[in-house]
Structure 1
């Protein structure tokens, strides 16, 4: 974040915790509960984010690194856009259902808690999305509702919200990195994990057991399920990661030729029961985010 944004967060943090800026040493006296309460208050703030510097609600981590002009001279995206990383091969990606994990955590949106999820009206969803992307909440709700109902049976508005937030917080920012890097080099590869046999589908962190070969431990089975295919997929994934580390090219006999991401050929390797290279699997939603993120 910028220095001015960091200053605003610091000021608001002191206000919420009732600490005078003249006595910052009192921060050491705060309890963990007080710190968490203050952080949750700060998630309601909005700051300019992404390629288009549009105002977007934080909804997440608020104590972030500051672009102060010395150690961090510019944001990572700005550096990539200007070609600072053109000589560095990159692999970037996400999971398909990133936000499913966060909906299940304590303190998640009360609107979609297990006791409320079946009572949610579409108007509630529109109001919630409007807070995240002012001016296009209804358009976003309609688009993601159509996408989710097309792709899965018995979908709920919680699934719609999860898809929207997953794109806002993960998939679209990742796509912007790939787009920016591809303007300067062909050494940019994109992936998406669609393996959804775990308790929360293809949620945030469900890729970790697959990348590190720990699909059989309790955490791995929670995230990836007990299907024996998870172990086989893990080997496939690891071979790609090792190939990339060795040669800057993740192609292997298992997945075939992994073509780089390009503006005209937006290749994305999708890891699932059947792993394959897809062309622009994000195209249904990407137009919504033009001019926003």
Structure 2
């Protein structure tokens, strides 16, 4: 690592000094909003206070408070235990080939982690390889998580704490606003920003497609294993908040007590929240998630897309073939379910629908492909499609119906971990997109290298001109009534209507039953 005056950049709040590494200029821990601490807890992000002199930007800043168990559940790449945590967490990182006026495309990353874990400074999201390969600027950001970012307290406190449950989304908007104001000084083009994210990050991207405050701040969007079907109705969000305060043993009207609670108590309460909600039948998915509050989110994001919110914004959206295998491998009870328990579990996630017909459809489809048809494998396939593939398909369909452009994919590369038992599991594609894949997790060798080049070049082509077709991956047609889908794996090829028998089984299932 080396520093020089060449890595000093003047932002609208003051000068920052990064460092040079392997031909890139790197900046870490740049504040994009005021610390949301003290009386600013649960308030929208505020402007950062300007500083004098030159602020060092050579190491990652503190990340949002989180429980390791929660952050690690949805992303094997996360290492929250290695990163210091603090409510003062609103920082971003920049990788750029040069500090000039070249106005390069900007790729703005929103991390995953179930809205309760992760950070923009995770080693998995190191932007150097992507930046260097595509001559682009890469930005990764933190945002408030869990109860500090996605807890609706406005209803319970009568507005005394005006938290809508979308403070985390508003943090993302604030980071995008910082990019719009400052990225030209880092060699980027503020008018050519592509937002992309995975899991809760993909769902965040899906929400930003519907958030009025982010309009005009990005030009394109990539949604990996998360789309536009995850957001909670306001009345249910208020019930979640009520349960959370009961765990804390704090009355809704005691605003001072809420604001002064140690963050450790909030994190401990989060660990109790999910099982409490599951026992009460309130939710089987993410306990804390964005809220349809009527302001930041006025509707379920997929409905906003159908109403025209993405006009002029092309998207790439897709999922991994075996998303849910990463979760089932940790659930010994689920691995041993019998036919009766399979039917019971499907009835729980699909209330009011014919669970027997859904199970039979998947049993027959898996058998025809030569895949295992144990109850655990069938449930894994159903949950994968419910949580990830069908929300992606619904977004692609919505784009096409509105005369907008979507490119759909299914990632099929199997992980070598656990002798291949995880298949193309949740989050596996991350290493190939960023070029940070490893032998034990993603694989290695010439075929893995080619896969990473294919994904990076497609993502980079899309960031440049809105079309992922390129020499590496080949022609990638937009989604239409033929349902063209890029299969991304050992070989990359376009198939029309892959896994269509399963897709048709979901046609009568409402959007609100999709997602996690």
TM-score over 0.5 for the pair? yes
The question of 1:133 aligning with 2:350 is answered yes
Deviation sequence 1:219-278 (CA, Å, 0-9, x none): xx343234541111100111111111111111112332211001x211100011111001
Does residue 60 in structure 1 map to residue 277 in structure 2?
A: no
- Which of residues 296, 299, 320 is equivalent to 1:71? 296
Instruction: For residue 210 of structure 1, give the secondary structure of its aligned residue in structure 2.
Output: helix
In structure 2, the CA distance between the partners of 1:144 and 1:222, relative to structure 1 (3 Å rule), is: farther
The C-alpha deviation readout for 1:59-104, integer Å capped at 9, x for no partner, is: 3312112222222233321111011212101110011111111223
Alignment partners' CA distance in 1, 2:371 and 2:424: 16
Q: By how many angstroms is 1:143 displaced?
A: 1.8
Q: 1:290 to 1:16 in 2, by over 3 A?
A: farther
Report the CA distance shift for 1:93/1:142 in structure 2 as closer, same or farther (over 3 A): same
Task: Output the CA distance in 2 between the equivalents of 1:133 and 1:255.
Answer: 37
Q: 1:129 Cα shift?
A: 0.8
Q: Distance in 2 between matches of 1:60 and 1:133?
A: 13
Residues 87, 185 of structure 1: 8 Å contact kept: no
Superposition pairs for residues 179-258 of structure 1, below 5 Å? 179-199=397-417, 200-216=422-438, 221-258=439-476
Q: Give the one of 213, 216, 241 matched to 1:10.
A: 241
2:364 alignment partner, SS class: helix
Instruction: Give the Å deviation of 1:38.
Output: 1.8
Partner residue, 1:53:
none
The aligned counterpart of 2:188 is none
Structure 1 unaligned regions, length at least 5? 47-56
Task: Identify the residue that residue 306 of structure 2 maps to in structure 1.
Answer: 81
Q: Judge which range, 24-33 or 80-89, deviates more.
A: 24-33
Q: How many residues align?
A: 270
Q: If the length of structure 2 is used for normalisation, what is the TM-score?
A: 0.49
**Residue of structure 1 in register with 2:505 after alignment:** 288
Q: How does 1:173-184 map to 2 (within 5 A)?
A: 173-184=391-402
Checking the alignment, whether the CA contact within 8 Å between 1:251 and 1:257 is kept in structure 2 is yes
Shift of 1:15: 3.9
CA distance in 1, matches of 2:358, 2:377: 13
Query: Which segment is superposed worse, 190-199 or 266-275?
Result: 190-199
Mapped to 1, the partners of 2:367 and 2:443 lie a distance apart of: 24
SS in 2 for 1:91: strand
Query: Given that residues 415 and 423 in structure 2 are in contact (C-alpha distance below 8 angstroms), is that contact kept between their aligned partners in structure 1?
Result: yes
- Alpha-carbon distance change, 147 to 186 in structure 1, aligned in 2, over 3 angstroms: same
> Structure 1 residue 36 and structure 2 residue 271: aligned?
yes
Structure with the bigger percentage of strand: 2
Deviates more, 1:160-169 or 1:192-201: 192-201
| Partner Cα separation in structure 2 for residue 232 and residue 40 of structure 1 | 42
Looking at CA atoms only, which structure, 1 or 2, has the larger radius of gyration? 2
Structure 2 stretches lacking a partner, 5+ long: 1-231, 511-516
Who is 2:31 aligned against?
none
Q: 1:31 to 1:2 in 2, by over 3 A?
A: closer
Residue 97 of structure 1 corresponds to: 322
**Equivalent in the alignment of 1:49:** none
Per the alignment, in what secondary structure is the counterpart of residue 163 of structure 1? helix
